Amino acid sequence: MDPLSGSASGDNLAGRLSLYVVMQLASVLLPGAVVLMEGVVLLTGLIRVHDHAISSLFEMLARVGGIGGFVVVIVAVAGSYVIGYLCRSAAFAIFGLVERRTRPLESRDAQLRLLIGDDHFAELVRIHPVLGSRAPEVAKARLGAGGGHRDGAMHDTQTYCKLWLRRQAPELAIDSIEAEINILLATVFPVLLLAVDAVALGGTPLPLRILALPLGLLVCAAVVRAVLRLRDAERWEAVRNLAFDFLMHRAALCFQQPDQPR
């Protein structure tokens, strides 16, 4: 989900804009630049006509100045952004397929009832009816929403909770988890392409060429496992923090009206 969605005005919007810029830099532009560089190194190494093709290419680019240099920088930045965006989208698509096969969607109503009690849970659902519309669609959830999410009532509930927290309780927002997921998945293709470079290019020590792909796949598997854990935490904390916001408002109201039962 777009980190700017649901932003209020003022300081909250400025903070969210800063988060959005940082997330785009860390999960799109920088990984895209790494992939672009690795791709250039790989292609230059595979089609080189002499042993110093890579250094010659960089020397040629270094000699470009003036408007030509500015154009080269703009093209490199734009290319890095596009490549990074596509790689992150592909990583999310792959992750969504893995999650769909390994992590069935489960309602967290029982946990929420245990956390806040049946009476508070009933009142919470009355105030936020979207919380009561999840169970019927769990079985029909399908891959299709952005960010590798699965469409369905549970995703709608999570989106509602995140938007509410961003507007009404930014201190309880879970944007840090969303940013961490984006940044972690953005590392998948740079790691894989680095392993391919190590295998395909000459001059790489034989032990490293043998271990490069297994190590790259192992790192990617660790990243996917970490993101699976974070995605579970994201779903739970979105609903839990909405419940916390509800309880905090009730407590504040009780303190404002001490004669009312708590």
In tens, the pLDDT along 36-80 reads 999 988 887 777 655 555 566 666 666 776 776 778 788 889 999
Residue-level pLDDT at 140: 46
Domain boundaries, the chain: 11-256
Give Cβ neighbours of residue 209 (< 8 Å, ≥ 6 apart).
Answer: 198, 199
**Segment 106-130, tens digit of pLDDT:** 777 888 999 999 999 999 999 999 8
What pLDDT was estimated at residue 8? 53
CA angle 62, 65, 68 (to 5 degrees): 105
Q: Which residues pair with 134 in a beta bridge?
A: none
Residue ranges of the chain with per-residue pLDDT less than 70: 1-12, 48-62, 65, 68, 133-152, 257-262
Listed as own residue / partner, the contacts of 43-50 with beta carbons closer than 8 Å and 24 or more positions apart are 45/197, 45/200, 45/201, 45/202, 46/200, 46/201
